[in-house]
Chains A and B, each alone.
Chain A
Amino acid sequence: MTEQEQSVTNGIATVSYQAGNDGRQQLISGDMWQPVNIVNRQAWDAIEKQIQHTREKIHRGSWSCLRYYMVINHMDTGLLAKYSNQLRIVVYLHTLPLFFKRLGTGTLQKYADIFDVTVEDLQQGKLRAPVYGTEQGEEHAAC
């Protein structure tokens, strides 16, 4: 099994219904069915591509680091607006460096709490790991 095909469950045995030789359905414990891993990998590849694209845009100064935290935590402006109790358009504006730089500590704290980072991380444009943790190292960007 290649790395690409490795189970998305990190080795946690799930159960599924399968017909035995007598045709009776039974719960079988085991790893996930291989096509599931393939399509899950496909979804993650798409997300990783989006993260890479976001990093590039942040380095070029087109987007603020808030966009990175949003993308790496699988959110869009609508969902982040719900979590931060703000209008969608306001969140969108905060993803632009011009508006992000002017944010007060209160709003930054709100974002920091959602993404498990500090206000300083956001102010300094540090790109930390997502809430669920990852092996990706941090790097800095000009927010």
Chain B
Amino acid sequence: MQPVDFTHSQSAHCESGVCSNLLTHKGLPMSEAMAFGMGGGLFFGYLPFIRLHNLPLVTYRAAAGGILKHFANAPGFTMHQKQFRDKEQAVAELDAALAQSIPVGLQTGVFWLPYFPRALRFHFNAHNLVVYGREGDDYLVSDPVFPTPVRCPVADMTRARFASGALAPKGKMYYFTQTPQTIDHHHFITEGIRFVCKLMIGSPFPLIGVKGIRFLAKRLEKWPHKLGKERADLHLGHVVRMQEEIGTGGGGFRFMYAAFLQESATLLQDPYLEQCAALFTQSGDTWRAFAASAARVCKDRPREEDTYQAMAATLRECAAKEEQVFSNLRTWLDDQQ
């Protein structure tokens, strides 16, 4: 089977990276940050009733699959998506698509991918990658978080496609069947920002958006008293681990969103978005200061200022900054109409 001529670009986040790589392959060049922003990828949610390794779920990005869904539902785009019950059928359909020179996006479970470093092999089932060829018993894989394409045995890939547990992929494969030659940047950018604004400052639900950050701050203050030092440190480390998912540069996905706003400012020639991007970078820096302080606590080498109260205050600062920037963006959106 002849591998597809597919250009691999490394990215900081798997789903936006796969989206950007697949669109670029279809002749619609798009940066990762742009795919992230247009797909409404930014979010915050503190969901203590969902547990990961017995720790509360904290998420800094939209639900898995949300970015791709945004593009799949956009006018001019059609996406072929399929899930399977039968493993053999899933392999056969993937091979058939590859035989037609179609690079295929897959949702997989990280734990079963042999090329992943040992320390990152947790049961996370929403990792996206692109398979662009098969040579013997190996798939040629463009995994966007890796610097170069990798190989993965068919058996391991099949196992990863049928991982069980939360967000089970059920063999999910997808590819764009139709993309427009050009897109209306203004429409996609405003829709992407509108979607994120609604979630971050327009939701009445107290656990998501800016309210969610404040809720987390309130809970975080109480952890040492309520859980004891060891459990409190574990909870704190978990918040940071979720924030620093591979390659976000320390600030959740805030820096990536700032990159999207900067790129949008250039495309739409609107300096106001540039100002919003600068504010967003400040928010990312505050998140990073929180992570650095939390890491010192987790390592048992806290400075005098590294208290849970101080960290909660830093989180409230993040919330205030993000509230301001999204209010500004909402005003900007109103001006666009």
Interface residues of A, Cβ cutoff 8 Å to B: 8-10, 12-19, 23-29, 32-36, 38-40, 42-44, 46, 73-75, 79, 82-83, 131-134
Contacts and interface: CB of A to CB of B under 8 A. Distances in A.
Contacts of A12: 117, 146-147
A25 B259 contact: yes
Contacts of A79: 123, 164-165
Contacts of A24: 262
On chain B, which size bracket covers the interface?
35 or more
Contacts of A40: 119-120, 241
Contact of A16 (B114, B122, B233, B249): B249
B165 A82 contact: yes
Contacts of B120: 8-9, 40
* Most chain B CB neighbours (cut-off 10 Å) among A26, A35, A40, A133: A35
B12 A13 contact: no
Interface of B: 10-12, 32-33, 53, 111-112, 114, 116-123, 145-147, 164-165, 168, 233-234, 237-238, 240-241, 244, 246-250, 255-256, 258-259, 262, 277-278, 281, 291-292, 294-295, 298-299
B11 A35 contact: no
B123 A43 contact: no
Given A24-B262, A39-B295, A39-B298, A14 B122 contact: no
B251 to A, nearest CB: 8
Contacts of A83: 164
B123 A17 contact: no
Contacts of A25: 33, 255-256, 258-259, 262, 277, 281
A90 B299 CA distance: 39
A14 B11 CA distance: 8
